[in-house]
Structure 1
């Protein structure tokens, strides 16, 4: 029975380690594809008919362009921590000619700019706008140890569905757009500051693989110790005169 348990554990740990290596290969391929995607020319943002097919693997960080009119009175601010410090993302719906709305992250503002942008009084909704940026998937729930509070207009993540419901957006896209692209030139004192998307992927699969393989090795060591102990126990004790 003990031998069966040992074999089962060894095979399981070995399989989990191999699976993590496969996941690592998939993640590295994804990172490479996303890096190529970000450098591509912008395409039209997915239209309402395409929304059900939008997914992170094919669309995250895709450069897109979208035309419409901002709805500044429906602006919300989501807390952010960036290389410029703590502050907020300015999220304003852009309404297209067909009546659909897409939440646009217009960029980062420091905490001192909060009153000027909630609600947005910049007048940016007075004229048609064309936004170019990166398509991003929604961030549901909230931030670390903090849940979004729609009633109090406290947003700790860019939860598209929750923001759309709170702001009465009836035809909101399931994604949002980060205005601008990383590395683009912007005015030094322009707020909101676009182009601050951080493109990163959590990739600890090699560490996990080594952990599982290490546990498999520990099972082998434990098995060797048990076998050695069993052999010693089975040997007859020397007779004494």
Structure 2
């Protein structure tokens, strides 16, 4: 029977009161995550577009600010150690076809960098 007066039910009201703040919190988190991701992509693109610079000498590696160097291009000189290359199974990013990727160590030839290696991923 309807008397024209709205009478909310107990359990649907309780569930709504519990879920509403949770859903609002998740929506806010998604917007914050969008801004974080947009800033990250902009920082990556800006740093990757920089002119490559020489890799700092090995003696300075322990004190480097890695967050500041992230995504920045560097130049190195050395020789590939093809006898130590590693293959690993992967998939092509565009076609999802199976294949192999190659990791080849590059031994640095710079003075002061004896025994230092950089890994080349292809």
Fold match (TM-score > 0.5): yes
Name 1:49's counterpart in structure 2: 62
1:28 aligns with 2:38: yes
The normalised TM-score by structure 1 is: 0.36
Task: Give the total of aligned pairs.
Answer: 103
Q: Alignment partner of 1:62: what SS?
A: coil
Alignment deviations for residues 12-61 of structure 1 (CA, whole Å, 9 cap, x no partner) = 1111111101110111121112111121111234643146x535x861x3
Name 1:88's counterpart in structure 2: 100
Alignment deviations for residues 105-143 of structure 1 (CA, whole Å, 9 cap, x no partner) = 2x3xxxxxxxxxxxxxxxxxxxxxxxxxxxxxxxxxxxx
Name 1:11's counterpart in structure 2: 21
Superposed, which structure 2 residues align to 1:1-241 within 5 Å?
Answer: 2=11, 3-45=13-55, 47=58, 48-50=61-63, 53-54=65-66, 59=70, 61-79=71-89, 80-81=91-92, 86-96=98-108, 97-105=113-121, 107=122
The normalised TM-score by structure 2 is: 0.65
C-alpha separation between the residues in 2 aligned to 1:50 and 1:78?
A: 32
Q: Alignment partner of 2:114: what SS?
A: coil
How far did 1:83 drift?
5.3
C-alpha separation between the residues in 1 aligned to 2:63 and 2:79?
A: 21
Cα root mean square deviation, aligned = 2.9
Structure 1, unmatched stretches of 5+, are 108-241
Structure 2, unmatched stretches of 5+, are 1-9
Structure with bigger RCO (C-alpha 8 Å, 6+ apart): 1
